[in-house]
């Protein structure tokens, strides 16, 4: 048992406190009561008013608590990466934007050294998740998203989306994107990798001719209407 009648402040105890060791831990380590150690630290603070701030600056922070919403966001982010092969970005769906914003906050925590170990352990299974995406990364994600949207649009029975002469905003958005790919292809600006993806996912994208069988009922109505008007021949 350490002697408790030593003269305050004890240099050894003050050094331990300065290094961020708490009073209870100092007391347990030296075999003294907490009240005794506290008295010594109080005496040291009188001599060095900045001692408490110095202690707080190096004090090991408690691990951030993982909340229930945080756990849900973590699980959904991991599931999103597994299904999409990418991290969520700030478009297009509201839920994806929310996950992207949550991920930005976790990157900020990681940079400040305040990321919860539970988050770090799970998120570190995703390569380079701590890196902030560049504009080029975002453009690449958006390009792949548009490709998938055009494929889904065609799979739903629609014809090639038009970039003009349509009031449908979804069709116009996809049509403008597809029209841009055709322009880039003719100008030699489309990369071979993107061309290969277009050929594989939406064959025939370069021609974009109206397809037989697509919207057949609508086509039949239009054909009948044209036949009934000689001026259209």
The pTM for the full model equals 0.44
CB 132 within 8 A of CB 105: no
Given pLDDT bands bounded at 50, 70 and 90, which one contains residue 228? very low
The residue-averaged pLDDT of 124-140 equals 82
By the 8 A CB rule, do 206 and 185 touch?
yes
Residue 97, pLDDT score: 87
For residue 127, the 8-state DSSP code is T
- Give yes or no for residue 175 having a pLDDT over 90: yes
Mean pLDDT confidence for 83-107: 86
3-state secondary structure at position 164: coil
Average pLDDT estimate for 169-198: 93
**What does the domain layout of the chain look like in residue ranges?**
11-58, 68-123, 135-219
What percent of the chain has a predicted confidence (pLDDT) above 70?
84
pLDDT in tens, 53-89: 888 888 766 666 788 999 999 999 999 999 888 888 8
When mean pLDDT is compared across 3-7, 96-100, 152-156, 189-193, the lowest value belongs to 3-7
Q: Which tokens sit at 185? A: 């292809």
Q: Taking 80 as the threshold, does the pLDDT of residue 47 lie above it? A: yes
The pLDDT of residue 78 is 95
Q: Is the pLDDT of residue 233 over 60?
A: no
The predicted model gives 157-170 an average pLDDT of: 92
pLDDT of residue 62: 61
36, 1 Cβ separation under 8 angstroms: no
pLDDT at 96 > cutoff 70: yes
Give dist(CA 151, CA 209) in Å, integer: 15
The encoded tokens of residue 152 equal 């889904």
User: What mean pLDDT, rounded, does the chain reach?
Assistant: 83
| pLDDT exceeds cutoff 60 at 224 | no
From 82-86, 148-152, 171-175, 217-221, the region with the lowest mean pLDDT: 217-221
Provide the pLDDT for residue 218. 40
């Amino acid at each position: 048992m350490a002697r408790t009648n030593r003269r305050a402040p004890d240099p050894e105890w003050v050094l331990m406190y300065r290094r961020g060791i708490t009073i209870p831990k100092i007391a347990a380590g030296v075999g003294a009561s907490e009240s005794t150690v506290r008295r010594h630290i109080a005496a040291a603070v009188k001599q060095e008013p900045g001692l408490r701030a110095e202690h707080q600056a190096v004090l090991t922070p408690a691990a951030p608590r993982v909340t229930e919403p945080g756990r849900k966001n973590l699980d959904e982010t991991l599931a999103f990466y597994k299904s999409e092969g990418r991290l969520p970005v700030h478009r297009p769906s509201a839920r994806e934007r929310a996950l992207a914003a949550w991920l930005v906050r976790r990157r900020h925590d990681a940079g400040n050294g305040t990321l919860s170990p539970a988050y770090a352990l799970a998120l570190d299974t995703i390569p380079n998740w701590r890196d902030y995406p560049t504009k080029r990364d975002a453009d690449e994600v958006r390009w792949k998203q548009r490709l998938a949207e055009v494929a889904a649009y065609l799979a739903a029975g629609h014809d090639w989306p038009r970039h003009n002469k349509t009031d449908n905003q979804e069709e116009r958005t996809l049509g403008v994107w597809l029209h841009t790919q055709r322009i880039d292809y003719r100008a030699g600006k489309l990369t071979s990798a993107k061309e290969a993806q277009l050929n594989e996912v939406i064959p025939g994208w370069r021609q974009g001719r109206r397809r037989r069988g697509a919207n057949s009922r609508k086509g039949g109505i239009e054909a009948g209407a044209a036949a009934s008007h000689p001026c259209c021949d």
